[in-house]
Structure 1
Amino acid sequence: MKNKIIKYLSQPAPVNDKPWLSVVLCIVVVLFILAIFEPFNFTLDSLGQFWVLIGFALTTMLVSSVAFVLLPWVFKKFYVPDKWTIGRSLLNNVFILIIMGVGVVCYDYFIVMKQLPQYFPMGFLVDLFATLTIGIVPLSIITIINQNNTLKRNLHSSKEINQMLSERVKSLSTNNEEFITLKGSIRESISLKTENIIYIESEGNYVNVYNKQDDKITRRLLRSTIKQMEESLQNYPMFIRCHRAFIVNKNYISNTKGNAQGYQLTLYDISQEIPVSRTYLKSIKDALQ
């Protein structure tokens, strides 16, 4: 059970690529909830209360801008699209709810209500819980919109790539006798026909080189990095970096699929699907064209 949960949380997830739209949506939803449902003893029945409502909007704009715009800009390594997972997304959403909830409740308590210190602890926590509950609504809407937009974009890109694949001439039987020597970091190396290398996968401090030989797929382990492999193959245009952990031979690409989590390549003679990062999507399109 534990392993299943870890595996699920480790699956890739779409990154929010429209942060300012998320900020606007949060403001609209908060204003709608306050004006229609009137929580926290708020009643929109006077000009003074209207300005209180504007204050809530400005507070929401401030804290949501911090959550959706400032944090991804400051902590760029945490928000890397290629490493974004369901687990990181859930953790990020919880954090967003907390800072938005604290911001809105602090505005309500210390500026609108001017609450006395003796009423602070329990009442503050109750209202914070209510705010977090309300905040789930806009955050859920943002997540759904982001997933749908990502799905549409990925399906469209996959359709374009598959169209390119259908128009190209398959060139697996070129009888190319050229060999390449891939060198490791401890004076080890392997020599293989370039046309027989299907793909290379990073595994810690090693790389797995998948090679087709006599109609059989072999795996050769080499102590090296995917970056070193990319440099070794830079003069061979059939090899494309498609992910931080994968290099593929474009002549073996048979199909591509897109979903809300990203792209996957299907290769001839291999059952495993190869992930494609958005970072390298243009490189694949250019190589296939």
Structure 2
Amino acid sequence: MINKLLTLLRSPYPSLVKRWKSVIIPSLIVFLILFVLQPFGISMMGGYKFWVVLGYGVVSSLALSISTYLFPALFPRYHSEKNWTLGRELLGTLGACLLIAIGNCFYTAWVFGSFILSWKGFLISLAWVAVLAPFPIIFFLMWNRNLQLVRNLKEATEINYALAKRENTQKEKIRTRNEEQIEEGRAAEEVAEEETPMQLVFSGGTKEMLEVDAHTLFYVEAEGNYIRVAYSSADKMQQKLVRATMKQAEEAVAACSFIVRCHRAFLVNIRTVVKVDGNSQGYRLRLEGCTEEVPVSRGYAKEIKTLIEGGTEG
């Protein structure tokens, strides 16, 4: 149970595309809820009620601005999209809530004419934040994931269009070449495009090794102290575990520009990609002749998209 929870917290989480919305919208939600519920004695303030509630919204905006803009500027590596996880998102959310509670505590003391702060006042502010926070938090969790999903689905559609265009171009080249060769009196089957064999050797320094033609490789997956090599043999998908690291696997495929890293645990042969599916985390690649899909994490999504759309030489 604990291991599953830790795995969930370490899972990638999409960063916000438009951060200003994470400041304005929650502050607006806080303003509306406070204006309706009127805690902290706001209900007894008469005509100043609106401005007092607006002040709480401003305090929330300032606290969220610190969390959304200042902290990422001060600690860019920690807040980078490539390293962002669900656990860090939750931790950042709790930090923002704490800042709002502190700001509300000071603001409440100032509004009610008392500059004497106390733990009781802070705990009351913290309690109200705990009551109100779930509403904007749940809203943004759903909104952000849906935003990422829509963006990735759109990009997946663009990639699939590029794949279809590339396939049609390749077919046209083969057809043209065959026609030219037929005119010269040679059989079409003798002039089909052939790839120069390029052998890959996967080995972790032990006696165990695997030699595979680069053009038949589907993907390489890290599994603990081993790597799983998936490739085509006799028109069938084959898999074999080799005791080696991903670093050693990358060194083995370094000469092949069409075999690239797409995930912290995967290398993939771009030339075998026939379709791309998008989700909130990134993409999943479908490979020709392969029964399994290969994930693409968001840190590699842009590079993979560029390679697929532009094609590779190798």
TM-score normalised by L of structure 2: 0.75
**Equivalence map 1:177-216=2 (5 Å):** 177-182=197-202, 184=204, 190-203=210-223, 207-214=227-234, 215-216=236-237
The equivalent of 1:42 in structure 2 is 42
The equivalent of 2:146 in structure 1 is 148
Which of the pair has more CA radius of gyration?
2
The equivalent of 2:184 in structure 1 is none
**Post-superposition shift, 1:183?**
6.2
Contact 1:238–1:251 (CA under 8 A) maintained in structure 2: yes
**Post-superposition shift, 1:39?**
2.2
SS state of the match for residue 42, structure 2?
coil
Residues 66 and 150 of structure 1: is their aligned pair in 2 closer, same or farther, counting only changes over 3 Å? same
**Post-superposition shift, 1:157?**
1.0
The equivalent of 1:33 in structure 2 is 33
**Post-superposition shift, 1:21?**
1.8
**Amino acid corresponding to residue 277 of structure 1 in structure 2:** S
**Equivalence map 1:91-130=2 (5 Å):** 91-109=91-109, 111-115=110-114, 120-130=118-128
- The answer to whether 1:251 aligns with 2:249 is no
Contact 1:154–1:259 (CA under 8 A) maintained in structure 2: yes
Distance between the aligned counterparts of 1:166 and 1:276, measured in 2? 20
**Equivalence map 1:14-25=2 (5 Å):** 14-25=14-25
Q: Tell me the matched-pair count.
A: 284
Contact 2:149–2:280 (CA under 8 A) maintained in structure 1: yes
Contact 1:198–1:212 (CA under 8 A) maintained in structure 2: yes
- The answer to whether 1:238 aligns with 2:258 is yes
**Post-superposition shift, 1:64?**
0.6
Distance between the aligned counterparts of 2:129 and 2:63, measured in 1? 13
- The CA RMSD measured in Å over matched residues stands at 3.3
Deviates more, 1:135-144 or 1:150-159: 135-144
Residues 133 and 174 of structure 1: is their aligned pair in 2 closer, same or farther, counting only changes over 3 Å? farther
Deviates more, 1:72-81 or 1:12-21: 72-81
Residues 80 and 56 of structure 1: is their aligned pair in 2 closer, same or farther, counting only changes over 3 Å? same
The equivalent of 2:155 in structure 1 is 157
**Post-superposition shift, 1:144?**
2.2
Distance between the aligned counterparts of 2:122 and 2:255, measured in 1? 64
Residues 255 and 53 of structure 1: is their aligned pair in 2 closer, same or farther, counting only changes over 3 Å? same
Structure 2 unpaired stretches of 5+? 172-192, 310-314
Q: Which of residues 273, 277, 280 in structure 1 aligns to 2:297?
A: 277
Deviates more, 1:246-255 or 1:235-244: 235-244
Structure 1 unpaired stretches of 5+? none
**Amino acid corresponding to residue 219 of structure 1 in structure 2:** K
Residues 181 and 4 of structure 1: is their aligned pair in 2 closer, same or farther, counting only changes over 3 Å? closer
The equivalent of 2:129 in structure 1 is 131
Residues 61 and 123 of structure 1: is their aligned pair in 2 closer, same or farther, counting only changes over 3 Å? closer
SS state of the match for residue 13, structure 1?
coil
Contact 1:14–1:81 (CA under 8 A) maintained in structure 2: yes
Contact 1:9–1:87 (CA under 8 A) maintained in structure 2: yes
Residues 270 and 216 of structure 1: is their aligned pair in 2 closer, same or farther, counting only changes over 3 Å? closer
SS state of the match for residue 66, structure 1?
helix
Distance between the aligned counterparts of 1:86 and 1:273, measured in 2? 23
**Post-superposition shift, 1:78?**
3.8
Contact 1:82–1:244 (CA under 8 A) maintained in structure 2: no
The equivalent of 1:261 in structure 2 is 281
SS state of the match for residue 219, structure 2?
strand
Deviates more, 1:231-240 or 1:145-154: 231-240
Contact 2:228–2:239 (CA under 8 A) maintained in structure 1: no
Distance between the aligned counterparts of 1:70 and 1:276, measured in 2? 30
**Amino acid corresponding to residue 140 of structure 1 in structure 2:** I
**Post-superposition shift, 1:195?**
1.1
**Amino acid corresponding to residue 70 of structure 1 in structure 2:** L
What's the CA shift string for 1:145-186, capped at 9, x where partnerless?
212211110111111122222333389x94542223456578
TM-score normalised by L of structure 1: 0.80
The equivalent of 1:221 in structure 2 is 242
> Identity over aligned residues, as a percent?
30
**Post-superposition shift, 1:229?**
4.2
Contact 1:240–1:283 (CA under 8 A) maintained in structure 2: no
